């Protein structure tokens, strides 16, 4: 018996949101690793962010119209919003490449983007297996470990900014970019916390 009752439409929407996050994270890694056709790549991520906004709106509209939901309304709202927040921050990183006129990326930024992509892969698995408590808890544990890894990488990256003889404007730009990248891993952990809450309430 499934521990969490299924409403297929809600689950389909969550999966679509997680898919958008995963696609955007892969595109972010490609953007930062290859750093060519930057405007085109940024626009592709923006498109996914807009798609994510539409999906979040659809979840909220369905929530308002559904009498019996698969789990608590506030948790459905929180889960959908948190997935959208991850997507917003990925888009925020990409957009800063244009806004800040970045000429080349850094190893630290590429490393953080890969952590985000790995997190998005685990998120997708977790959403797919919401009805399997043992697997869900393990995925949440992995996501929390990734957040710790993101903190560590960001701290090293910011420290290096002040070790190198870098232009102060570049320091300001990259410090913010690193913070947004690490903030994305924080939001991924938020999703894990919400999934744990859903699971605990269902058992």
Q: Is the pLDDT of residue 144 over 90?
A: yes
The whole-angstrom separation of Cα 144 and Cα 136 is 13
Query: Tens digits of per-residue pLDDT, 54-85?
Result: 999 999 999 888 878 888 889 999 999 999 99
pLDDT(1) > 50: no
Taken in order of first residue, the domains within the chain and their CATH numbers are 8-202 (1.20.58.220)
Distance separating alpha carbons of residues 182 and 185, to the nearest angstrom? 5
44: which 2 tokens?
Answer: 């592709």
DSSP state letters, 154-178 = HHHHHHHHHHS---HHHHHHHHHHH
Task: For 2-43, write each residue's pLDDT tens digit.
Answer: 445 555 688 899 999 999 999 999 999 999 999 999 999 999
Among residues 148, 113, 136, which one has the least CA distance to residue 192?
A: 136
pLDDT attached to residue 4:
53
pLDDT higher than 90, residue 86: yes
Whole-structure pTM value:
0.93
Two tokens, residue 87: 């997507």
- Cα–Cα distances in Å, from 145 out to 52, 57, 141? 26, 30, 6
How would DSSP label each residue in 31-77? HHHH--SHHHHHHHHHHHHHHHHHHHHHHHHHHHH-SS-SS-HHHHH
Question: Which pLDDT band, with edges at 50, 70 and 90, does 140 fall under?
Answer: very high
**pLDDT: is 161 or 2 the higher one?**
161
Q: Tell me the chain's radius of gyration from C-alpha atoms.
A: 18
**Quick one: how far is CA 30 from the chain centroid?**
16
Within 8 A by CB and 6+ apart from 171, the residues are 161, 162
SS3 64: helix
Query: In whole angstroms, what is the distance from residue 132 CA to residue 3 CA?
Result: 7
Q: Collapsing DSSP states into helix, strand and coil, what is residue 28? A: helix
Mean pLDDT across the stretch 113-128?
Answer: 96
């Amino acid at each position: 018996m499934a521990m969490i009752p299924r409403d297929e439409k809600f689950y389909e929407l969550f999966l679509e949101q997680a898919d958008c996050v995963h696609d955007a994270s892969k595109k972010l890694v490609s953007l930062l690793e290859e750093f060519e056709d930057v405007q085109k790549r940024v626009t592709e991520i923006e498109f996914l962010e807009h798609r994510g906004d539409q999906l979040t709106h659809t979840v909220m509209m369905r929530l308002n119209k559904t009498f019996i939901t698969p789990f608590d309304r506030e948790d459905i709202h929180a889960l959908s919003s948190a997935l959208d927040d991850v997507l917003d921050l990925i888009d925020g990183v990409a957009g800063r490449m244009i806004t800040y006129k970045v000429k080349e990326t850094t190893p630290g930024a590429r490393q953080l983007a890969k952590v985000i992509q790995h997190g998005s892969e685990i998120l997708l698995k977790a959403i797919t297996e919401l009805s399997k408590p043992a697997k869900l808890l393990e995925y949440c544990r992995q996501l929390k470990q990734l957040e710790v890894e993101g903190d560590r990488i960001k701290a090293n990256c910011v420290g290096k900014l002040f070790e190198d003889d870098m232009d102060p404007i570049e320091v300001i730009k990259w410090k913010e970019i690193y913070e947004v990248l690490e903030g994305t891993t924080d939001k991924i952990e938020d999703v894990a916390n919400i999934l744990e809450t859903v699971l605990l309430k269902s058992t």
